[in-house]
Each structure stands twice: as C-alpha cells, then as structure tokens.
Amino acid sequence: MTSAQPAKRWAALARDTNETKIQLAINLDGGDFPPDTDSKLLAQEANSHASQSSKSQTINISTGIGFLDHMLHALAKHAGWSLILACKGDLHIDDHHTAEDVCLSLGYAFAKALGSASGLARFGHAYAPLDEALSRAVVDLSNRPFAVVELGLRRERIGDLSTEMIPHCMQSFAQAARVTLHVDCLRGDNDHHRAESAFKALAVAIRHATARVAGREGEVPSTKGTLSA
C-alpha cells in the first residue's frame, strides 16, 4: 500500500482596487500552479530580469518596479516556491501602493496555500551573505502577525523602489501571512547588497519554517495545542 501524497500547498489570487490590479499564483513546494490560475496570468510574457524556469520552479514577476521584482524573485527562488505575479499599479503617483499591495497579496496567498501549520517545523532561521553584506532572518508561523525589520538602508531609492518601502514590504507580507518575522542586516556597505541579503535570509528561514517534519504529521507545533489567534 502506498502512502497518501501530501496535500498541494498552492493558491491563486486576484486583488483589484482603484490603486492596483494584482494577479498571482503560488506553489510553496515548487512545481505546477493550481488549476484555477487565470490562463492570462500563465500566458504572461517572461520578464527576463525576474523570470526563471527549471524542473522544480517557475518564477515570473512583473510589478512595474524593477528592484521589487528582483527582490521577490530572490524570495521565491530561495524559499523554493513557484510564483507568477503581475501587478498594474498607479506608479504615476509613486511606488507605495504597488509595493504594499503586492506584498499584502503575496502574504494572503501564502497563508491560503499553507493552510494549517500542523506537522510543520513552525520556526525557521537563516543567515545569508551577499559579498560584504550579511543578514539574519527568524520566522515563526505563529498566526500572530508581527514584524521587526532593521536593514540600516541609507539611500533614498534603489532603482525605482523607495528604500522606506523595503522594510514595509516585509511588514506587509507578515501582516497578511499572519507570521512573526525578525529581519536584521548585520553589516554591509552597499544598500543593494543589504536589501538582497535580507530577502534571501528571509526566504531560507521561510523554507525551514514551512518544512514538513517526518513523524509529526497532524501534530500542532504549539504547547497550547493550537495556533489560532
């Protein structure tokens, strides 16, 4: 007798407001996207700087903000996700609505795809370097949204993304995903390197936290017996 295959951890989502129109699909374990993914999203033209396809992952991100695409590409790649995301936002105003709404939407989709934390590691931590920069991330699938992000960024912008939006993106993701995260850049001279090492550390910490633990299937990783709010 073969054991039952674990449930797919995937979700598709559309979020439309007067400020942004977002579509995305995610698979936390890589591979294919859910069957209810919009066919137009799947047909989205590959954006070369934030697109990648391999036997285990498909990533294609287009938000209209190049550096945000770059950071979300790194997040998806090192978290082990397949992720396709498209956003049309009011960039004629500024980058705030697009960056915030994209990361809220990603958090909502993450929570939907993850479902219960039963049988999962729950906690994850990681360090990630990028040349002279080194960042640390700690994640708890707590169902208690909270974020502390200290990156020490000094420039006003990196590409077309305001540096004030980089920690706000992580905070928005934590809020919608209902996770606790702490992300700190410990050292580094280049703000691009500081930000990217932080997203990579967060990605690896998330991958560890969402890992299934053999022999703990169905067990809630909490002394309270629940991770409900």
* pLDDT tens over the chain, length 229 residues: 456 788 999 999 999 999 999 999 999 999 999 999 999 999 988 776 899 999 999 999 999 999 999 999 999 999 999 999 999 999 999 999 999 999 999 999 999 999 999 999 999 999 999 999 999 999 999 999 999 999 999 999 999 999 999 999 999 999 999 999 999 999 999 999 999 999 999 999 999 999 999 988 888 877 677 776 5
Task: State the Cα–Cα distance between residues 99 and 96, nearest whole angstrom.
Answer: 5
Per-residue confidence (pLDDT) for residue 49, from 0 to 100: 85
DSSP 106-117: HHHHHHHHH---
Which 3-state string (H, E, C) describes 36-98? Answer: CCCHHHHCCCCCHHHEEECCCCEEEEECCCHHHHHHHHHHHHHHCCEEEEEEEECCCCCCHHH
Task: State the Cα–Cα distance between residues 159 and 148, nearest whole angstrom.
Answer: 24
Per-residue confidence (pLDDT) for residue 224, from 0 to 100: 72
Strands (DSSP E) found in 82-179: 82-89, 123-130, 133-140, 146-150, 157-158, 161-162
Query: 98 — phi, psi (to 5°)?
Result: -65, -50
Q: Tokens representing 116?
A: 């219960």
Are the CB atoms for 12 and 82 separated by under 8 Å? Answer: no
Closest Cα partner for 61 from 47, 78, 82? 47
Q: For the chain, what is the radius of gyration of the CA atoms?
A: 17
Per-residue confidence (pLDDT) for residue 3, from 0 to 100: 60
Task: State the Cα–Cα distance between residues 61 and 145, nearest whole angstrom.
Answer: 25
